Amino acid sequence: MALVGAIFHTVRGGSDDPAAIAHAFIVAILCIAARVGIGTVLGVTLARKPAALTGPPVARLPGRHGQGVIDVEVVSVDQAW
């Protein structure tokens, strides 16, 4: 938000003219809208899971003496009871 304030004051240019303040306010509102839009896109892309990860969570543990990888299904406390 500090960046939006800096943009507001830069666009305003220290002028007390109502038109300059209105223009700076519009630019600041557009900056805030852009930030919300970028945050929404990032949130949606982070919330999506690839199709390979839709099953139960699996912990991948190294095998003994180079025998590969062991898949272990992770069970929550609620499922164990």
CA 37 to chain centre: 11
Q: What ranges make up the beta strands (E) of the chain?
A: 58-62, 69-73
Per-domain boundaries in the chain: 2-80
Q: In angstroms, rounded to a whole number, what is the distance separating the alpha carbons of residues 79 and 73?
A: 12
40-79, pLDDT tens digit by residue? Answer: 998 888 777 665 555 555 555 555 655 555 555 655 656 5
Which among 71, 80, 3 is positioned nearest to 38, based on CA atoms?
3
57 phi/psi in degrees, rounded to 5: -65, 140
Whole-model pTM: value is 0.55
Does 2 or 74 have the greater pLDDT score?
Answer: 2
